[in-house]
Amino acid sequence: MKRNLYILLGVIVLIGIAVYQNAGPGIQAAFRHEEPMPTETGPKAGLLAPAFTAQGLDGKEYQVGGAQDKAILLNFWASWCDPCQQEAPELNAIAEKYKDSLDVYGVNVTKYDNKKNAQTFVDKYKVKFPVMLDLKADIYEKQYKGVVFPTNVLIDKRGVVQEVVLGILSQKDLEKKVKHLIKS
| Structural domains of the chain, with CATH | 52-183 (3.40.30.10)
Span 15-60, pLDDT tens digits: 766 666 665 555 554 455 566 777 788 889 999 999 999 999 999 9
Give the helix/strand (H/E) hosting 166.
Answer: strand 161-166
The pLDDT value recorded for residue 25 is: 52
The pLDDT value recorded for residue 17 is: 67
Residue 141 pLDDT greater than 50, yes or no = yes
Which CA distances in Å does 30 have to 14, 34, 35? Answer: 19, 10, 13
The pLDDT value recorded for residue 29 is: 47
* Gap between the Cα atoms of 160 and 47, Å rounded: 6
Averaged pLDDT for residues 104-123: 97
Averaged pLDDT for residues 92-98: 97
Q: How does the average pLDDT of the chain come out, rounded?
A: 89
Extended beta strands in 43-134, E state: 52-55, 61-64, 71-77, 102-108, 131-133
Provide DSSP, 34-62.
PPPPP--BSSSTTSBPPPEEEEBTTS-EE
Span 68-84, pLDDT tens digits: 999 999 999 999 999 99
> Does residue 183 or residue 33 have the better pLDDT?
183
